[in-house]
Amino acid sequence: MAPEALTGHAIQLLISPLPEPRRRPALPSFPYHPSPVATGSVTPSDAPCACCGQERGWVYTGPVHAADAPGSGICPYCIAFGKAAERYDATFTDGIEGDVPEDVVTTILRRTPGFLAWQSPTWLTHCGDGAEFLGLAGAKELERYPDAVEDLRRRCAEQTWPPDEVEDFLGSLDKDDQPTAYLFRCRACATHLAYADLT
């Protein structure tokens, strides 16, 4: 392209080229929360970790349950390796629904990024193991997961809700507002599970 053809934005890019986007390190593996960036529980950050003091490129944004832990700023590496749980006697989710081995409980509560919920977050289980957390979901997102909708329907029926109220509730689920569903997948049989809450 001839220099006389360059104007405006093209000239500005030649004078001050845009910086290369930062390459962030790979996240540690979380078997019970496989995509914490996609769910919003981990986000990019250039700030040093509140626990280890290192700048890791990522920060955890979910809940931290501990008396003396910082409210934010813990890197996902300190969660994965158990350093944050040990240092602050912290957990990252409130509880687990179902009966699973103690090592699974420890991994989910103390070495897995949690997620924000309207009430106290609960981790679902299936086939004797913790399920994978896939993210928040509304009625639209749940259309792809009829097994999760049936799980929600069953949970509402256990509360003795009338069938018409159950269907109205399921139709009102909203990923970005309340009530919201929390979507999981069994690690053994791939069944989708969900529960919902609101304030």
The one-digit pLDDT tens for each residue of the chain (199 residues) are 555 566 666 666 666 666 666 688 899 999 999 999 999 999 999 999 999 999 999 999 999 999 888 878 999 999 999 999 999 999 999 999 999 999 999 999 999 999 999 998 999 999 999 999 999 999 999 999 999 999 999 999 998 889 999 999 999 999 999 999 999 999 999 999 999 999 8
Distance CA 112, CA 121 (A): 13
pLDDT for the residue 138: 97
Whole-prediction pTM:
0.86
Q: Which of 87, 88, 78, 135 is nearest to 111 (CA)?
A: 78
Distance CA 11, CA 28 (A): 41
pLDDT for the residue 8: 67
pLDDT for the residue 112: 98
pLDDT for the residue 5: 60
pLDDT for the residue 110: 97
Structure tokens belonging to residue 181: 């569903």
Distance CA 16, CA 129 (A): 53
pLDDT for the residue 70: 83
**CB distance 110 to 92 below 8 Å:** yes
Residue whose entry in the numeric block shows the structure tokens 């509140």:
50
pLDDT for the residue 20: 63
**CB distance 78 to 49 below 8 Å:** yes
**CB distance 59 to 75 below 8 Å:** yes
pLDDT for the residue 10: 63
